Amino acid sequence: MRITTKVAKMGILLLLFFAAAALAVAALVEENEGRSIKALQKESYISEAEASYIRPGLNITIVDITIPADRKPVVTVKYTDNLGQPLDRLGVLTPGAISSSFILAYLPASQAGEVTDYVAYTTRSVTTPANSPNPGVKTIQAGADSGGTWTEVGGGVYTYKFGTTLPANYNTALTHTLGIYGRRDLREWGLSFYVSNPTKNWVPNGSSVTQIHDIATTAACNQCHDPLALHGETGRREMPICVLCHTPQTIDPDTGNTVDMKVMTHKIHMGDSLPSGEPYIIYGNQQSVHDYSHVVFPQDIRNCDTCHAGSKQTNAWKLFPSIEACGSCHDNVDFATGANHAAGPATNSQCAWCHQPEGQYEYDASVAGAHTVPYKSKQLEYPKLTVISLTNTAPGQSPTVQFKITDKNGNAMDPARFGGTLGRFSANLAGPTTDYTTRITETISGATSVGGGAYSYTFKTIKIPATAKESWAMQFEGRLTATIVRGGDPEDTFTQRDAMDNVVKYFSVDGSTVVPRRTVVSLASCNNCHEKLQLHGSNRNTIESCVVCHNPTLTAGSNPAGTSDSFSMQYMVHKIHTGEELENGYWHGTGTDYGEVLYPGDRRNCGACHVGTTYTVPLPLTNVAIATPKNFWSPTMPIAAACISCHDGVATAAHAFINTAVFGSTQVESCAVCHKESAAHGVSEVHAR
């Protein structure tokens, strides 16, 4: 009878779970039809039946936390999938067991709103092994709770009782934070592992939370990292979780280096630019060595707002300077002796005496002033070019352009100022816009004033080719060299290039409808990581401008074999960002090896750079083959060139080569047969994660 009852109960539970699953499927289908599940996520490619069974996703909700008389916290949590349906923690009634780790920490009392660092209750003891640089060193580090017990409540709800006992004198009036990092592994079912990192702030005595720690957000990190994912597959991806362990109390005993968040993050991102030249090294799991001395931050390191914007304590970096935070970047300063510190020896309490949040001048002793990014200086004029008209654009003609250049206040600027050794003002004719293959450049000098701040210039070198058809483009670029004053002292100056944003003017050479060059990636996407994309001495700063030169015909470079390589946009950008994962490297014209580049994101996320579905195939039939002298063959058809720029092994090249046919003088790629979106191996599906 007991067996029958137990079986009946199990049957009821299964019915309840499958009923919930049916509702989940209906919602999933509706959601998928609306494309709210992204094309580059694996969930997009499972069937209705698979979705019904697997129930993708993981969301952990902290329902409650109490601290009973034995001072072992008790947490109530709920596990649900992406559609809010309950999940079985053990992976019996729903696929994929869920692992969860619990961290508990408090914020010490602060003075005058100053930001304080967490102190974790949940700690672990670590002793370095015999193969460590410092064997036998014992330290206590912040970590997750261990030795706790689970109780099932039902409907995806569970309680967890900590193994850690809080101190008898723990302060119930302070802000406490519970953090959970959980993982659900569904790779067995062809998906991925799912992560959830909830946190909860509360004051044990029941008071309102007034003190927090929110200095940098996950969203800010993920502008580059996409996503922030560290410590292997343990499931730690959110900054509110990271700061609970990466506290001043946590030291790497192998090196003696702190992994306090503010110090560690600054040192890692300074990487190869640390003034001391001393590498920042941390030993990880199984004595893995992490040497960050080769890291290059992809923008100006003084852009403090890149990481701190959007947080609730967004100005903490300039309001509360400290030896730890400042010394992490300026690591050649000895604050105890005063070496390399203009003010001599200093303590934390003295930092704000000289280093006020903001000062009167740029590049003064204030925190914000000292971190002024040169291209953002208020002393620059920020020239802006406006193209009024472009005429005489028929085949064989020399175009005439009317334009105006103004400063940031709208005042007209004389284009003659942009000549000589201190400036630049030039144009590039490129065409056709279907896929650029021709480029002619000319320096603009001797423009004639036509009144109202406008000027006219008829090109001398640039002529529309006699065979030109359809739409072409004229690209303009220019800059000045400005003198920037440091700290209001006219005797202390440096020079900075003051560049205008590039302008591209599209036009028809034969009276046909003007067709701009297709947009494949957005500048905003580039600047998520680069902040301000500006290359070639600040002369090129828009994608529309980059593709004018970096067209399928451009080759350059000098690798150890002395051969050049393609510098076409899609080939070059893919290769640079694949970097250290390339099998065959990639070199710049000066001999720079991009094989050392570390891309901080996940290259499978094509949408991180591409607009819409421009990464999919087939590509426009008007795209031309790309000159690839270092490739296995040249020229390489456009789809193959894009793919093998990342997948640069010989097997992939052979696959692409044998799927290219030549009919007369025409090369044809058959890639879309297998790799179009509706095919068995569509680009989105094979890149899905």
The CATH code of the domain that includes 385 is 2.60.40
Q: Do 136 and 226 belong together in one domain?
A: yes
Q: In 3-state terms, what secondary structure has residue 369?
A: helix
Helix H or strand E segment including 315:
none
Q: Do 204 and 124 belong together in one domain?
A: yes
Q: Do 81 and 214 belong together in one domain?
A: yes
Q: Do 71 and 155 belong together in one domain?
A: yes
Q: Which structural domain range is residue 309 located in?
A: 305-374
- According to the model, what pLDDT value does residue 672 have? 93
- According to the model, what pLDDT value does residue 623 have? 92
Tokens 């696959």 belong to which residue? 655
Read off the pLDDT of residues 650-672 as tens digits, 9 standing for 90 and up. Answer: 999 999 999 988 787 677 899 99
Q: Do 309 and 209 belong together in one domain?
A: no
Buried b (16+ CB within 10 A) or exposed e, 160-169: bbbebebeee
Quick one: CA dihedral 305, 306, 309, 315, positive or negative?
negative
594 vs 123, more confident: 123
Neighbours of 439 (CB within 10 A): 17
Sequence-ordered strand ranges (E) for 417-519: 424-431, 438-443, 448-451, 454-458, 471-486, 489-499, 503-508
Joined together, the tokens standing for residue 270 give 């300074």
How confident is residue 25, by pLDDT bands cut at 50, 70 and 90?
A: very low
Helix H or strand E segment including 30:
helix 2-33
Within-domain flag for 295? no
For the entire predicted model, the pTM comes to 0.90
How many domains are contained in the chain?
Answer: 4
Q: Do 347 and 390 belong together in one domain?
A: no
Within-domain flag for 46? no
**CA–CA distance, 252 with 260 (Å, rounded to integer):** 10
First and final CA of the chain: distance in angstroms?
A: 48
Which residue, among 232, 199, 254, has the nearest Cα to 61 in the 3D structure?
Answer: 199
Q: Do 122 and 154 belong together in one domain?
A: yes
Within-domain flag for 637? yes
Q: Write the CB contacts of 483 (distance below 8 Å, at least 6 apart in sequence).
A: 493, 494, 495
Q: Do 591 and 655 belong together in one domain?
A: yes
Read off the pLDDT of residues 580-629 as tens digits, 9 standing for 90 and up. Answer: 999 988 887 666 788 889 999 999 999 999 999 999 999 998 999 999 99
Within-domain flag for 361? yes
Q: Do 143 and 164 belong together in one domain?
A: yes
Joined together, the tokens standing for residue 644 give 């093998």
Q: How is residue 87 annotated by DSSP? A: -
Q: Do 567 and 645 belong together in one domain?
A: yes
- Among the candidates 465, 500, 520, a domain finishes at 520
Within-domain flag for 409? yes
Q: Do 349 and 406 belong together in one domain?
A: no
Within-domain flag for 50? no
- Among the candidates 319, 352, 374, a domain finishes at 374
How confident is residue 18, by pLDDT bands cut at 50, 70 and 90?
A: very low
Read off the pLDDT of residues 446-492 as tens digits, 9 standing for 90 and up. Answer: 999 999 999 999 999 999 999 999 999 999 999 999 999 999 999 99
Cβ atoms of 656 and 640 within 8 Å: the answer is yes
Q: Do 361 and 408 belong together in one domain?
A: no
* Partners of residue 65 on adjacent β-strands: 75
Q: What's the whole-number average pLDDT of the chain? A: 91
**CA–CA distance, 578 with 583 (Å, rounded to integer):** 10
Cβ atoms of 682 and 675 within 8 Å: the answer is yes
Cβ atoms of 217 and 197 within 8 Å: the answer is no
Read off the pLDDT of residues 231-275 as tens digits, 9 standing for 90 and up. Answer: 988 999 999 999 999 999 999 999 999 999 999 999 999 999 999
Within-domain flag for 256? no
CA distances (Å), origin 209, targets 113, 116, 199, 202, 204: 13, 14, 14, 6, 10
- According to the model, what pLDDT value does residue 593 have? 83
Residue range 570-577: mean pLDDT, rounded: 94
Q: How many helices (H) and strands (E) does the chain have?
A: 17, 26
- Among the candidates 374, 403, 430, a domain finishes at 374
Neighbours of 353 (CB within 10 A): 11
